[in-house]
Amino acid sequence: MRRLILVSNRLPFTIERSGNETRLRQSTGGLVSAIKSYFEKNADTRYSFDQKIWVGSVDFSLQDLEALKEGMAQQEFNIEPLTIEENTYSNYYNGFSNSTVWPLFHYFPSLLETRREFFEAYKAVNQQFADKIVSIINDDDILWIHDYHLMLLPQMVRNKKPNAAIGFFLHIPFPSFEVLRLLPTEWKNALLSGVLGADLVGFHTHEYAQYFVRSVKMVMKIDNHFNTLLYKNRLIKIDLFPLGVDYEKFHSTNGEVQEQIDKVKSAFADKKIIFSVDRQDYSKGLMDRLRGFDQFLHDHPEWKEKVVYLQNVIPSRDEIPAYMERKRMLEELIGTLNGKYSTIQWQPIIYRYNHLEFDQLKGLYKVADAALITPLRDGMNLVAKEFVASRSDKQGVLILSELTGAASELSEAILVNPLDREEISNAINQALTMPIKEQEERMVMMQKRLKEYDVVKWMSDFLDQLLSVKKEQQKLRMKLLDENAVQKIIQAYKVAKKRLMLLDYDGTLAPFTRIPSEAKPSKVLMEQLEIMANDPINEVVVISGRDERTLDSWLGKLPISLVAEHGASIKFKGSNWQKQFNIQPGWKDRIRPIMDLFASRCSGSLVEEKDNTLAWHYRNSVPELGFTRSRELMNSISQLITNTSLQVIDGNKVLEVRQSGVDKGTTAMKLLNNFQPDFIFSIGDDATDEDMFNILNKKGFNIKIGNGATAANYNVLQQSEVLPLLSKLINSTNIKEENAYT
């Protein structure tokens, strides 16, 4: 029995009272409309949800809810209401959610409030949600958490339900790291780690997704592989899912809608109509939009008495004094502009502060000559999409802020900078004078896009990706070195008569360091290698990219074999170094200047020269810059070494150039033929080790550190797991050392 559990700050309806009458009213907002439309179309048949549950807080008593049982029976969802103490809710919602997260994520840092009681309330309410969810969730349920109010919730649920399928979708912009870092460190870490409790994290645009990935890398030092992250031994996918609209619902026309169209046309028969509808919020740019309209009337007096701007503002957060103050300022400006331009028979701005019924809204969309949608910042802006979807006549012009998520999809709109009055003025004039043929061409292209990726596609896409990432996690778990696999290796180790241990060094036996020369072996590692090497049936080989001098200095006193520079030189136990090929003279002089140039262009990178290899390390660079420069450098070197005996190796935050034919795979085969073992154990962390894994495939136990695709039999996710694993092998045949390294 699979259930879908949706979680948002509020339940998808409110209770309205009029005299003695009480009724349910569906909440406004894209999420509610999208999910309601999805299930109305019976689009969930592919998932066969036995039950849909919506968890959210309520601003009315449970007694009121009980009194409306009949209305509740018609809802698509079973509900799990949360009642939250009034002061706590105010600090959580009006405080941290809308006075801290909202302004910062919308690039209004000057409005940011950083009060400790706000954050504590935010944590408390998120925990209350978590307790409710944990009490009802089953193992095969899908949990989908929505928006900025609940960014701590995914990890809180994960702590109690580690195998749950959890999706998180952010409906507002995610800011660049430079803006996010303005948050106090504790709060910043908490929000990011909270969201990473999800298996799939969704955003409206590619830009927001990339900002999130970069913030995670910079704040939490977690590396990404394209759009996946590994956090707490769990694969997490980050992707974009631009929220759509119910295209057919807006496109159709019924009698009530036609009546609304006729009324508006009758009222403004000889005038062009500009329309906008927004929530009351500073991010919507209402004041700047009015100033742009003011500029238009000033620049184009020929439109006097020939155009009317219908501005509908939806009440929002009226309990916050700052919002009511902005409402007052807005209404003052509207009054000023109407006083400035009105005539006895004409008022340029018709203002309404109220909710719109759906048929009213559709009618206004369909009758408007232009929609003026110019927020200063908006995660998506579904109003723009609704306007486009509603135009069954394929006419009308959309004027859209370039700072909305929707702008990336609706590129045929007239895109404007919402702060540029002259640009808004010119855009309005362009829209009102645009030929019908051009209007239709633009509208057809936008409508095609919206029809293909509507609310059904949006929700199906997200659920598909969530189930897909759960399958990827399962595949990874199947290759993860669990206790059963460890016991299998130990058993084979114990009964073997001749063992070959092939051990990579950097990122395997020793963690990476900021400077390569600092990665000296620890005391514990040296003791483990010595004990392992003293077993007469063991042949221990450290097979590394390090040069001869470094390996001799660090490990030369141990009774083990050493391989330098991936196989360029081999030093068998008790012997001297043996070169494995003839060095081609002069090649470094051609490659070194290019690497030096890129080191100077990428702060934190450095060039390391070995006997037979040149390496460019970028582990200490800003991640995005380092990766970009590495691709550029690899391309430059690849072109330079075409038709030569050189090769470029893309390692773990390092690019290496060496002669072809020298790799760990070829070397591993030499060692295999030399020692003739009946037990083979190899372990490594990067692309250079894959050569070894490919050669040794099915010949032994091969282990890759990290979660990437590999030819190895098993994965361990962290370098810190390597020494405990070696300790178990040592202890399995050295009983007296049994507790030495566990």
- Residues annotated as catalytic (active site), given as ranges: 504
Buried b (16+ CB within 10 A) or exposed e, 318-357: eebeebeebbeebeebbeebeeebeeeeebbbbbeeeeee
Decide if 694 contacts 711 (C-beta within 8 A): yes
Report the 10 Å Cβ neighbour count for 524. 13
Report the 10 Å Cβ neighbour count for 698. 7
Question: What is the distance between the alpha carbons of residues 441 and 444, in angstroms, rounded to a whole number?
Answer: 5
Nearest to 237 by CA among 227, 247, 246: 227
Residues whose CB falls within 8 Å of the CB of residue 668, separated by 6 or more in sequence, listed in order: 502, 543, 682, 691, 692, 695, 696
Give the Cα-Cα-Cα angle 294, 298, 302 (nearest 5 degrees). 120
Question: What is the distance between the alpha carbons of residues 192 and 8, in angstroms, rounded to a whole number?
Answer: 18
| 3-state DSSP assignment of residue 217 | helix
Question: What is the distance between the alpha carbons of residues 622 and 91, in angstroms, rounded to a whole number?
Answer: 36
Residue 521: how many CA atoms within 13 Å on its side-chain side?
A: 24
Question: What is the distance between the alpha carbons of residues 454 and 244, in angstroms, rounded to a whole number?
Answer: 4
Question: What is the distance between the alpha carbons of residues 741 and 293, in angstroms, rounded to a whole number?
Answer: 74
Decide if 618 contacts 626 (C-beta within 8 A): yes
**Residue whose tokens read 């070829």:** 666
Report the 10 Å Cβ neighbour count for 696. 25
Determine which helix (DSSP H) or strand (DSSP E) holds 427, and give its type and residue range. Answer: helix 421-433
Question: What is the distance between the alpha carbons of residues 35 and 75, in angstroms, rounded to a whole number?
Answer: 12
Question: What is the distance between the alpha carbons of residues 154 and 164, in angstroms, rounded to a whole number?
Answer: 10
Nearest to 134 by CA among 153, 157, 152: 157
Determine which helix (DSSP H) or strand (DSSP E) holds 477, and give its type and residue range. Answer: helix 455-479
Question: What is the distance between the alpha carbons of residues 133 and 135, in angstroms, rounded to a whole number?
Answer: 5
Decide if 593 contacts 571 (C-beta within 8 A): no
Reduced to 3 DSSP states, what percent helix, strand and coil does the chain have, rounded to the nearest 5? 50, 20, 30
Q: Provide the token pair at 440.
A: 């239709």
Angle between helical axes of 483-495 and 722-733 (0-180°, round to 10) = 40
Q: Pairing state of beta strands 646-650 and 165-169?
A: unpaired
Order across the sheet with 614-617: list the strands: 606-609, 614-617, 654-659, 646-650
Sign of CA dihedral 366, 367, 369, 371: negative
Question: What is the distance between the alpha carbons of residues 213 and 479, in angstroms, rounded to a whole number?
Answer: 26
Residues in the chain: 742
Decide if 35 contacts 175 (C-beta within 8 A): no
Question: What is the distance between the alpha carbons of residues 125 and 120, in angstroms, rounded to a whole number?
Answer: 9
Residue 177: how many CA atoms within 13 Å on its side-chain side?
A: 15
Sign of CA dihedral 222, 223, 224, 229: negative
Q: Pairing state of beta strands 614-617 and 21-26?
A: unpaired
Question: What is the distance between the alpha carbons of residues 735 and 496, in angstroms, rounded to a whole number?
Answer: 17
